[in-house]
A and B are shown apart, each in its own frame.
Chain A
C-alpha cells in the first residue's frame, strides 16, 4: 500500500524547513524510510541525494525502524565516567542489543546519545524520552521489565 505523506503539508514547502519536515516525518513514522526521503525531496523541491545527505548528517535521524521502546543510553562525560560502557555491556548481555539495533521482536531498540543533560544523576538512560537516573544493573533490569510488561 502506498504511504500517505500528506501531513508534510502542515509545514510551508520552503527548502529551509527540510529539517523540520524530517523531524515531523520521524515523529509520525518513527524513522526515516526510503519512501519518506522521496516524499520529502518532492515536497521541499530538493534532490533526493541532498535529503539523504541531511538525514545522515544529523544524529537524531534514524534510518532503521525503532522498537516499541527506544532506549537511549547517555554517554555524556559524567555518565561515561560513572559507567555508561557497563550499561551497554549489560544490555548486550540481557537483550542482545547493540547501539543502533532493534530487537527482532520489536520491543526494544538501543541508541547512544551524547548527553541528556542530567549529569548529576549519572549514569542515566531514557526510554521513549523518559529519563531514568542513578542506574545500576538491578535498577536498570527492573525498569526494563516494567516496560516489557506494558
Chain B
C-alpha cells in the first residue's frame, strides 16, 4: 500500500462539464473537504462528465467519471473507492496525440501562473528573440494550414500582412464557430484561453499588427468570460508590450449569423453592418477592417502557434501526413459510445477515429458527416480514408473545421440532408440569387420528399440546382451548401428512391411515412402508454389512431416491455 496523500482535486467545468451537473458536484465536494479544488477546463472526454481528478503528492492522480453530487459518490471519491473510476480508454490513448490540447483540462484556464508554469508563453518568448521574418519562416516550415477548414497555408497568409507597412494593421481571431455539431474552438477558448491569445500575440509580432480582435459567438458566454480575464492578465503583465508598440486586444461578440464565418462578412459585422460577404479582391490583407490591412485566422490555428514556436517548425512538421501537417481537433458526436473532443495526427483514418477512439459499434454505423452543413457524408465503406484537407474532398465531403457526426443505421439520410438545407437556406445572407432562392427551392423539394410527396424527377432537379448554386455563389456558404444533398444523392440514392417511389423511409424516421404500432403479444396492458400519450391517441383497448397520433415517441419511451415501435405507414404489425 502506497503512502501517497491527496493534495488537491480538479473538476472539469467547461460548458459540457457544467451542463452535466459539474457545479453541483463542486458544491458537494467543497462541503466535504478543505483541500483545494481547482476548476479546470475540458479534457475532451465529454461522455464521462462530470469528471473529478484526485491529485496526489507524488504527482500521480486518479479520475472519477459521471460523478453525482450525492453524499455516497463524494464519500467514494474521498475514500478513493473503486466505484465511478474513470480511465481513458486504451485505444484512444494509443491513437491520440495531445499537442494543442495538452493543457486543456489540466490547468486552471484563468490562472496565468498555472499556464506559464506549464510552458505557457515560452513560444512568445522564443518568438521575441527572433525577427518577425524568422517567425513567419518557422510557421512556413511547420506546414501549418488554416484549421477553419479552408486550409490556406498560415505562414504565407502571415507574409501577406507582414508586407504591408506600419503597425495600423489588424489580426482577427475567427471564433464564430457556426457549424452545428462543432465545439473545438469553444473548448479551446474555455480551457486554454491564454494559449489562443499567445498564438495571436505571436501573430501580431510576426505581421507587425497593432490590433488584435477576437470575434466570438455570443452563444459562448463562458469562453468570452475566460478570454476577458486572460486579456486583463496580459495587459497587467505587459505581455502585449513589444517595445515599439503595445498591442491592443479586444473581443467583439457576434450576434448569430453563420455566414459571418466568411472573412469579408465577419469584417462587415465587426463594422456594425449586416454580415454580407463582398467580392474579393481586394483581399482583407490589402483592405479589411476599417479599410486597413487585416488578417483572419481560426481559433485552432492560433492554438497551434505556441506549439510550433516551442518545438520548432521542423519537429512540428514530423507529425501528420502530406495532406496536412500537425494534429487536428475533432468534435465527435452522434451515434457512438465516447463522444468528445479528440486530437489526432493529420491523416488518421475515419475507421480509427470513429471506431477505435469513438467506440462506435461497427455494425450500427451508416456514415459520418464531416464539415457540418458545408460538408458531406462519407459512407462506412470508405472509412479507411485518411482525414486531411485533400482526401475527403475527392469523396464529395470536406474535413472542415472538425465537426464529425456519426450517423447510425437507424437515421434517414434524406431527413439528414433536409436538416442541413433547412439550416443553410435560413442562414443564406440573400446577396446571391442562386444561394438565396436556390437553397430555399432545394429545401422545399426535400420537405416534399420526406412528406412522401416527391417524385423521381425531383432528384435530378436537386442535382441540377446544387451544381448551379455552387457555381453561382460568391462565398463559401453558397459554394458548399448543396454538398450534404449532393453527397447523400451520390451514396444513398436508394433511400431517396424509396421515399419518392415507394413512400417508404427505411429508417422509420420520417413521420409522414411512419405509423406507431403496438405488439399485442408483448403488451402487458399496464396502460402506461394510454396515460402518457399527450394527445389521447391510444384507446382503452390499445388501438392507436394514426390520424390523432403525432409520432412523438412518448409511448415508445415509457413502455416497459418495448411493445410499441415505429413501423412503415399502414403496417399494423
**Do B256 and A59 touch across chains, with their CB atoms under 8 A apart?**
yes
Q: Contact flags (1/0) for B180-192 with A, using CB distance below 8 Å?
A: 1111001100000
CB-CB nearest in chain A for B290:
A16
Is A90's CB under 8 angstroms from B183's CB? no
For residue A33, which residues in chain B have a CB less than 8 angstroms away from its CB? none
Q: Which of B1-9, B241-249, B513-521, B549-557 forms part of the interface with chain A?
A: B549-557
Name which of A1-9, A63-71, A73-81, A100-108 contacts chain B: A73-81
B255, A59: Cβ atoms closer than 8 Å: yes
Q: Which residues of A contact B187 (CB under 8 A)?
A: 117
Is the pair A80, B419 in contact by a Cβ cutoff of 8 Å? yes
B492 within 8 A of A: no
Q: Enumerate chain B residues within 8 angstroms of A118, measured Cβ to Cβ.
A: 15-16, 19, 46, 183
In-complex Cβ contact of B272 among A19, A115, A137 (8 A): A19
Which of B18, B180, B252 sits near A114, CB closer than 8 Å? Answer: B180
- A77 and B16 form a contact (CB under 8 A): no
B272, A89: Cβ atoms under 8 Å? no
Stretch at the interface among B56-64, B217-225, B472-480: B217-225
Q: How far is the CA of A41 from the CA of B425 in the complex (A)?
A: 29
Contact of A119 among B256, B258, B331, B419 (CB under 8 A): B331
Contacts of B405 in A (CB 8 A): 77-78, 81, 119
Q: A78 is contacted by which of B181, B220, B269 (Cβ under 8 Å)? A: B181
Instruction: Decide if A93 touches B272 in the complex (CB within 8 Å).
Output: no
B135: Cβ under 8 A from any A Cβ: no
Q: Pick the contact of A57: B274, B408, B420 (CB < 8 A).
A: B274
8 Å CB contacts to A: which residues of B388-415?
403, 405, 407-408, 411
B273 surroundings in chain A (CB, below 8 A): 54
How many Å from the CB of B393 to the closest CB on chain A?
Answer: 20
- The CB with the most chain B CB atoms within 10 A, among A14, A18, A119, is that of A119
Q: Is B43 an interface residue (CB 8 A)?
A: no
Q: Tell me whether A60 and B255 are in contact (CB under 8 A).
A: yes
How many residues in A have their beta carbons less than 8 Å from beta carbons of B?
A: 49
Interface size class of B (residues with CB under 8 A): 35 or more
Q: Are A90 and B19 in contact (CB under 8 A)?
A: no
- With beta carbons under 8 angstroms apart, the residue of A53, A75, A117 that contacts B15 is A117
Nearest neighbor of A82 in chain B, beta-carbon distance:
B334
Cβ–Cβ contact A117 & B269, under 8 A: no
**A112 to B177 CA separation, bound complex (whole angstroms):** 17
Cα distance A117–B191 when bound, in Å? Answer: 14
Assembly CA distance A57 to B554 (angstroms): 36
Q: Which residues of B lie under 8 Å from residue A17 when comparing CB positions?
A: 272
Given contacts A120-B340, A129-B221, contact A77 B419 (CB under 8 A): yes
**A148 an interface residue at 8 Å Cβ cutoff?**
no
Would B411 and A81 count as touching, CB distance under 8 A? yes
Query: Does A39 count as interface, using CB distance less than 8 angstroms?
Result: no
B274 to chain A, nearest CB (A): 4
Secondary structure dominating the interface of A = helix
Given known A60-B256, A61-B255, A117-B183, contact A77–B333 (CB-CB < 8 A): yes
Q: Which residues of B contact A22 (CB under 8 A)?
A: 255
Cβ-defined contact, B333 with A23, below 8 A = no
In the complex, the answer to whether A54 meets B274 with C-beta atoms within 8 Å is yes
Asked if A94 lies at the interface with its beta carbon under 8 angstroms from chain B, I say yes
Interface residue from B16, B182, B255 paired with A115 (Cβ < 8 Å): B182
Are B19 and A115 touching (Cβ within 8 A)? no
B94 at the interface (CB under 8 A from A): no
User: Which residue on chain A has the smallest CB distance to residue B190?
Assistant: A117
Query: What are the residues of chain B within 8 A of A124 when measuring CB–CB?
Result: 19
**Are A58 and B256 within 8 A (Cβ)?**
yes
B250 CB → nearest A CB, Å: 11
The distance in angstroms between the C-alpha atoms of A118 and B408, with both chains bound, is 19
B334 and A86 contact, CB distance less than 8 A: no
**Chain A residues with Cβ under 8 A from B550's Cβ?**
89, 93
For A59, A90, A136, which residue has the most chain B Cβ atoms within 10 angstroms?
A: A59
Q: A77-B334, A78-B405, A115-B179 are in contact. Are A93 and B535 (CB under 8 A)?
A: yes
Contacts known (A54-B273, A86-B553); A121 close to B219, Cβ less than 8 A: no
Which residues of B from 27 to 72 have beta carbons under 8 Å from A? 46-47, 49
Decide: B340 and A58 in contact? CB cutoff 8 A. no
Does A144 interact with chain B (Cβ within 8 Å)?
A: no
Is there contact, CB below 8 Å, between B255 and A23?
yes
Q: Are A114 and B19 in contact (CB under 8 A)?
A: no
CA distance A15 to B179 in the complex (A): 29
- Rounded to whole angstroms, the CA-CA distance of A131 and B49 in the bound complex is 14
Please, which residue of chain B has its CB at the minimum distance from the CB of A78?
A: B333
How many Å lie between the Cα of A22 and that of B255 in the bound state?
10
Would A119 and B218 count as touching, CB distance under 8 A? no
The CA of A76 and the CA of B169, in the complex, are separated in Å by 35
Is B271 in contact with chain A by the CB < 8 A criterion? yes
Q: Is A30 an interface residue (CB 8 A)?
A: no
Whether, in the assembled complex, A110 has its beta carbon less than 8 Å from a beta carbon of chain B, the answer is no
**Which of B177, B416, B427 meets A117, CB within 8 Å?**
B177
Most interface-central of B269, B272, B427 (chain A CB within 10 A): B272
Q: How many whole Å from B262's CB to the nearest CB in chain A?
A: 14
Smallest CB-CB separation from B44: which chain A residue?
A120
Contact call A16/B552, Cβ cutoff below 8 A: no
Contact in complex: B275, A81 (CB < 8 Å): no
Do residues A131 and B15 form an inter-chain contact, with CB atoms below 8 A? yes
Q: Annotate A117-150 by CB proximity to B: 1 below 8 A, 0 otherwise.
A: 1111110100001011100111000000000000
Chain B residues with CB below 8 A from A93, complex form: 534-535, 550, 552
B148 part of interface (Cβ distance < 8 Å): no
Chain A positions within 8 Å of B407 at CB level:
81
| Closest chain A residue to B220, Cβ basis | A117
Contact A76–B180 (Cβ < 8 Å): yes
Query: Is the beta-carbon distance between B46 and A115 smaller than 8 angstroms?
Result: no
Q: Which 6 A-B pairs have the closest CB atoms?
A: A120-B46, A58-B255, A59-B256, A77-B181, A119-B333, A120-B339
| 30 sample A-B contacts, Cβ–Cβ < 8 Å, listed by A number | A15-B271, A19-B253, A22-B255, A54-B273, A57-B429, A58-B256, A58-B257, A58-B275, A59-B255, A59-B256, A60-B255, A75-B180, A76-B181, A77-B403, A77-B420, A81-B334, A81-B405, A81-B407, A82-B334, A90-B534, A94-B534, A113-B219, A115-B180, A116-B15, A117-B220, A119-B181, A119-B334, A120-B333, A120-B340, A133-B20
Interface residues, chain B, with chain A CB atoms under 8 Å away? 15-16, 18-20, 46-47, 49, 177-183, 186-187, 218-221, 252-258, 269-275, 290, 331-335, 339-340, 369, 372, 403, 405, 407-408, 411, 416, 419-420, 423, 427, 429, 534-535, 550, 552-554, 557
